[in-house]
Amino acid sequence: MGVRPVSPTLTLTCPLKNPILKRVEPFISPNPKSAFLDDGEIPEVPLLVFEDEVVRSSIVEICEGPCVGEMLIENVELDNDGVKEFRRRLRFKRMPNFVQSQMRICPKNVTSFENLDNMKFELDKGVLVQPYLNPMVAGISVISRFLEGQTQDTFRPKALCLGVGGGALLGFLRVQLNFEVVGVEEDEVVLEVAKRYFGLENDELIHLFAEDGIEYVKNLAKNLSEECRFDAIMVDLDSSDVSVGACAPPLEFVRKSVLVAVRAVLHEEGVVVINTIPSSKLLYERLISEFHEVFEELYEIDVGNAENFVLIATKSKVGNALEANGGAFLNKLRLVVSGSYIDSIRKIPKLLILHSENVDYRLATADPAFSSTNACAKRISNSL
Domain of 225, CATH number, reads 3.40.50.150
Counted domains in the chain: 1
> What is the radius of gyration, based on Cα positions, of the chain?
21
* pLDDT category of residue 259 using cuts at 50, 70 and 90: very high
Q: pTM (2 decimals)?
A: 0.79
C-alpha 365/C-alpha 349 separation (Å) is 7
**Cβ contacts of 312 within 8 Å, gap of 6 or more:** 139, 142, 271, 272, 273, 274, 298, 299, 300, 301, 345
Q: Is residue 88 part of a domain?
A: no
Range of the domain at 263: 133-383
Q: Is residue 375 part of a domain?
A: yes
pLDDT digits (tens, 9 = 90+) for 110-145: 666 678 888 999 999 899 999 999 999 999 999 998
Q: Determine, yes or no, domain membership for 26.
A: no
Q: Is 100 part of a structural domain of the chain?
A: no
pLDDT band at 269 (very low <50, low <70, confident <90, very high): very high
Q: Is residue 22 part of a domain?
A: no
Q: Return all residues near 188 (Cβ < 8 A) that are at least 6 apart.
A: 65, 66, 210
Nearest to residue 96, comparing CAs of 119, 121, 130, 71? 71
pLDDT band for position 371 (cuts 50, 70, 90): very low
Please tell me whether residue 71 adopts helix, strand or coil conformation: strand
Would residue 353 count as lying in a domain? yes
